[in-house]
Amino acid sequence: GVSADAAAARIKGPAGTNVELTVVDGRGGERRRVEVERAKVEIPAVTGRIERRGARRIAYVRLAGFTKGAHGELRDEIEKLDGRGADGLVLDLRGNGGGLVDEAVLVQSIFQEEGPVLTIDGRARDERTFEVTGDPLEGIGPIAVLVDGDTASASEIVTAALKENGLATVIGTRTYGKGVFQEVIPLEAGGALDLTVGEYLTADGSSILGKGVVPDIRIEDGDPSGGDEVLDAGLRRVASELRAR
């Protein structure tokens, strides 16, 4: 098999062109080939709403990926919900497989005034530390970050930076532990080469490779009724911190 990045590189192409895929039936294992037309797909990186806990209004914001411009969408959504009276924030990074490192730095800059976010140690490049850009939002209130085993890469960078700087409570299950970064090199024959070219370290210099980020409050969603226990725990935590102020 190949990584998700390498598979995506093989499938992506100009809108209007076709790509042939082999689909495997998950039950019988039968293989069949299908041809699909590529198209430009616009998926919002950020969605949000107000959640209520008693008299408290808490912003719930889900960040789906660290795509180009995601930090601006996130900042705008938090400001919008703050304008609607939100006293705190639950940031949902569950299922967020990462994305652009620059976006991770800009997202962290929404919450952190100064200091490092991560350090990159590459095989063919000098060690480099990325710091926040300044201009954090004020008055967000207490923050809870929701994570799971699919929280990876850039989303782990932000999770670790928020935790290590005491800016948020991390809730859920241990994150993926992708402490390396790759470069995908398309091949003329139509395939792609997925090369690991370095490792990144968290804000305090720790490696999460194979270890992930350990949540402050471990809880796994197992509600058979379709509820969201992890979200409920995040809302309770923020409401509790607000009451203590």
How far is it, in rounded angstroms, from Cα 150 to Cα 4? Answer: 12
Q: What is the mean pLDDT of residues 109-116?
A: 97
Q: Which of 108, 98, 196 is nearest to 156 (CA)?
A: 98
Which residue blocks in the chain are alpha helix, DSSP H?
4-11, 70-83, 101-108, 154-164, 229-243
Instruction: Indicate whether 52 and 121 sit together in one domain.
Output: yes
pLDDT category at 116 given cuts 50, 70, 90 is: very high
Mean pLDDT of the 134-141 span: 94
**If you average pLDDT over residues 185-193, what whole number do you get?**
76
> What is the extent of the structural domain holding 202?
43-243
In this predicted structure, the answer to whether residue 2 has a pLDDT above a threshold of 70 is no
User: 26 and 53 in one domain?
Assistant: no
pLDDT at 149 over 80: yes
Between these two residues, 62 and 6, which has the higher pLDDT value? 62
Whether residues 126 and 36 fall in one domain: no
Whether 182 and 194 have beta carbons less than 8 Å apart is answered as: yes
The region that residue 192 occupies, defined by phi over 0 for left and psi between -120 and 50 for alpha, beta otherwise, is beta
Does the pLDDT of residue 225 top 80, yes or no?
A: no
Q: What is the mean pLDDT of residues 183-195?
A: 74
Residue 3 has pLDDT above 70, yes or no: no
- Based on the domain organization, do 105 and 190 belong to the same domain? yes
Last residue of a domain, one of 41, 56, 72: 41
So what's the pLDDT on residue 9? 74
Assess whether 22 and 91 both reside in one domain. no
Q: Read off the pLDDT of each residue in 1-20 and give the average, rounded to a whole number.
A: 79
User: Does position 198 have pLDDT exceeding 90, yes or no?
Assistant: no
Which pLDDT does position 192 carry in this prediction? 75
The pLDDT tens digits for 16-26 are: 899 999 888 87
More confident residue, 42 or 215: 215
Residue 34 sits in the same domain as residue 92: no
| Arithmetic mean of pLDDT, 152-168 | 97
User: Is there a single domain that holds both residue 106 and residue 86?
Assistant: yes
Segment 220-229 mean pLDDT: 81
Confidence of residue 8 (pLDDT cuts 50, 70, 90): confident
Looking at residue 42, what is its pLDDT?
Answer: 75
pLDDT confidence of residue 13: 86
Flag whether pLDDT at 122 surpasses 80: no
| Domain match, 101 and 213 both | yes
Kindly report the number of other CB atoms within 10 A of residue 35's CB atom. 8
Number of domains in the chain: 2
Name beta bridge partners: 186. Answer: 192
Distances (CA, A) of 44 to 47, 77, 130: 7, 12, 26
Query: How much is the mean pLDDT over the chain?
Result: 91
Q: What is the pLDDT of residue 49?
A: 98
Average of per-residue pLDDT across 145-157: 97
Residue 136 sits in the same domain as residue 81: yes
Distance CA 50, CA 40 (A): 31
pLDDT of amino acid 126: 77
Q: Is the pLDDT of residue 1 over 70?
A: no
Q: Are residues 154 and 176 in the same domain?
A: yes
pLDDT given for residue 112 in this prediction: 98
Separation of alpha carbons 196 and 37, rounded Å: 31
Are 24 and 87 found together in one domain? no
**Amino acid letter for position 111:** F
The CATH number of the domain holding residue 116 is 3.90.226.10
Question: Residues 93, 29: one domain?
Answer: no
